[in-house]
Amino acid sequence: MTIDSILPIFIWVPLIGFLVSNILPKTNERLISGTAFGTLVVQLSLATAFVLYWAFNGAETFQVKEIILFQNADYVFQIDFLFDLITAVYLLVGAVLTFLVTRYSRFYLHREAGYKRFFTTTLFFYVGYNLTILSGNLETLFVGWEILGISSFLLISFYRERYLPVKNAVKVFSIYRIGDIGLILAMWASHHLWGQNITFFQLNNAELVHHQLQNHTFIGVFISAMFLISAAAKSAQLPFSSWLPRAMEGPTPSSAIFYGSLSVHIGAFLLMRTFPFWEYQTSVRILIAGLGGSTALVATVIARVQSSVKSQIAYASIAQIGIIFIEISLGFNHLALFHFAGNAFLRTYQLLVSPSVVSYLIREQFYSFSKRTKTVEDLLPKRLQHTIYMLSLKEWNLDNMLYQYLWNPLKWAGNKLNVVKGRTLILFFVPAFALGYYILDRVHLLTPTWKENTPIIFAAIGLIMVFKSFTQRSSVRLAWVLVIMNHFWIALAISFNEKFDPKETMLYLSGIIVAGVIGYFCLQRLFQQAGKKISLSRFHGQSEDHPKIAIVFLLACLGLTGFPISPTFIGEDLIFSHIHEEQFALATLISLSFILDGLAVIRIYARVFMGPNSRTHAEFSNRYF
């Protein structure tokens, strides 16, 4: 066995553990936790032995080319692995901390209704984490990135019978979706810049990167900006910082492993991995340092006024990651790696002991009272002190800013479509879609202006579909069908944009069709069994009464959002490869469609299957009234 062949083992070990965990009986806690713990013991042992062997044999960077999933004349989607110092540190820290948290969780979650669900989701997260840090190109990284996103959603909403965890899970997923699109746009622009799917190993060739960016300055800055947006969203940097404390609604062990140590540092990993690309772009380095510095300052003052210990730890972690961003921008990658390891271990420890610390602090206030000592804030004028204090209490209105400048405009646009009934949309746009395909066979008859604008028009129509779905409150099935229609309009728009093999369109739509049909029949089955009207105006919590339908519908949702369980995942990247580098309007419309697709689908799942159901409301009423 060569050293190259060992890397995939770090993916297979947690993946096998995840698959085995799925088939275990949910009542056997010893077997469930033992499977997860045993998986992590094997992973930690292998990781430690491999890193030591690698270090004592020269610690050279090496690449492993694994599987080509799709290939045509000018596009390749392949799974690549890369191992270097960055990977080694993240691999070891991840193995140690996941092992410790799994050990802790065996007893912490004893007799919890979702005991099996927690350990299964944690192993699923760990698969995504290893796939991300071992990735050798953007496509492989994106597979792991998506797994991290959905496992975050599932663990934040672990207490799915409650309103607040589910609401916060959807909020966090919406921020993650922005990061996803940042990566997709970076892959799109990178494909046009290099004329191929570049690997991280090739980025280490300074001559190649410098020569390519010399004549493509703007597109280089654009790719770097997309990396930064993705990293900021994943690592809770400004203006996305407010999601991290909301993510603490999940169990304490998941808060520790996700939002204290590993997942929240993946943004920093992305910047370190792509550092050779933007190393000589001074404007990008200043932007990263400025973002990290401002985040560190704002998060520090917010942390000082938080009444919840978990929120204090969350904002303290955000501040430290901001400093890590500064270190990366200055080129101090070794210092950033050391800082990452220290911050990850510290925050994991703090979050795991936080329930005990609260009781200790309350006791200390009664028996060991001490006067407030002077701090650096006392040097500021009183008016400024009070202003900063009030802003910090309101968390600098970060949530309100996102709502005001991002989500509310999207909802406003969707609500404007409420004057058009859903059936009218379908009856009008289905014939229009058929007409579009009729024109596609006669595209040579169009004038150059119409040829240029037709893809944009059809992409805009698809965006209208998903806008309507995103703000739909009455009909669940209509919201689902509108998302499916949006994907068909995107496929039609790209077909007008460039002449290519129709099999590529079918690759993209095959996953959409299968997932769409399965999801629709799940909804039909649910309505028959529930025997009542289910709308999107509130949460219904149907997963408790219909768990099998909930699982199948979740898989359909993942297929419809382009999760890597269907060909649509490759198809989305393939679709973007047919958007020309000067077509920013078309790329923007399709990016918005993909963002809202994911949000609309997860919103449907959350409203129908999660949150308090009628039984929960009845129990609450009987208990308190």
Q: How far apart are CA 386 and CA 391, in angstroms?
A: 9
* Per-residue pLDDT at 381 exceeds 90: no
Q: Enumerate the β-bridge partners of residue 81.
A: 64, 135
Do 241 and 118 sit in the same domain of this protein? Answer: yes
Residue that finishes a domain, picked among 363, 381, 400: 363
How far separated are the first and last CA of the chain, in Å rounded?
67
Cα torsion through 354, 355, 359, 360, rounded to 10: -40
Question: What is the pLDDT, as a whole number, of residue 610?
Answer: 92
Indicate whether 412 belongs to any domain: no
Indicate whether 396 belongs to any domain: no
3-class secondary structure per residue, 532-578? CCCCCCCCCCCCCCCHHHHHHHHHHHHHHCCCCCCCHHHHHHHHHHC
Domain count of the fold of the chain: 2
Confidence at 418, pLDDT banded by 50, 70, 90: low
Do 49 and 167 sit in the same domain of this protein? Answer: yes
- Please tell me the least confidently modeled range out of 270-274, 425-429, 554-558: 425-429
Do 359 and 426 sit in the same domain of this protein? Answer: no
Mean pLDDT of the chain: 86
Domain boundaries, position 510: 420-624
Do 475 and 571 sit in the same domain of this protein? Answer: yes
For the entire predicted model, the pTM comes to 0.92
Indicate whether 371 belongs to any domain: no
Indicate whether 413 belongs to any domain: no
Question: What is the pLDDT, as a whole number, of residue 38?
Answer: 95
CA atoms within 13 A on the CB side of 518: 19
Q: Is the distance from CB of 106 to CB of 33 less than 8 angstroms? A: yes
Confidence at 354, pLDDT banded by 50, 70, 90: confident
Percentage of the chain exceeding pLDDT 90: 39
Indicate whether 392 belongs to any domain: no
Q: Enumerate the β-bridge partners of residue 83.
A: 62
Indicate whether 406 belongs to any domain: no
Do 190 and 269 sit in the same domain of this protein? Answer: yes
Do 320 and 424 sit in the same domain of this protein? Answer: no
Q: What's the pLDDT tens digit per position in 83-95?
A: 999 999 999 999 9
Do 330 and 438 sit in the same domain of this protein? Answer: no
Instruction: Pick left, alpha or beta for residue 277 (phi over 0 → left; psi -120 to 50 → alpha; otherwise beta).
Output: alpha
Residue that finishes a domain, picked among 324, 340, 363: 363
Do 356 and 426 sit in the same domain of this protein? Answer: no
Closest listed residue to residue 7, CA positions, set 57, 85, 65, 58:
65
Question: What is the pLDDT, as a whole number, of residue 333?
Answer: 94
Indicate whether 287 belongs to any domain: yes
Q: What's the pLDDT tens digit per position in 253-294?
A: 888 888 878 999 999 999 999 999 999 899 999 999 999 999
* Per-residue pLDDT at 351 exceeds 70: yes
Do 546 and 448 sit in the same domain of this protein? Answer: yes
Q: How far apart are CA 219 and CA 598, in angstroms?
A: 27
* Per-residue pLDDT at 569 exceeds 70: yes
Q: What's the pLDDT tens digit per position in 200-227?
A: 998 888 888 887 887 778 889 999 999 9
- The H-assigned helical ranges of 368-397 are 382-393
Do 49 and 196 sit in the same domain of this protein? Answer: yes
Lookup: tokens for 253: 């062990």
Do 88 and 164 sit in the same domain of this protein? Answer: yes
Residue that finishes a domain, picked among 363, 383, 406: 363
Question: What is the pLDDT, as a whole number, of residue 625?
Answer: 33
Question: What is the pLDDT, as a whole number, of residue 474?
Answer: 81
Q: If you ran DSSP here, which 8-state letter would residue 116 be given?
A: H
Indicate whether 380 belongs to any domain: no
Do 357 and 424 sit in the same domain of this protein? Answer: no
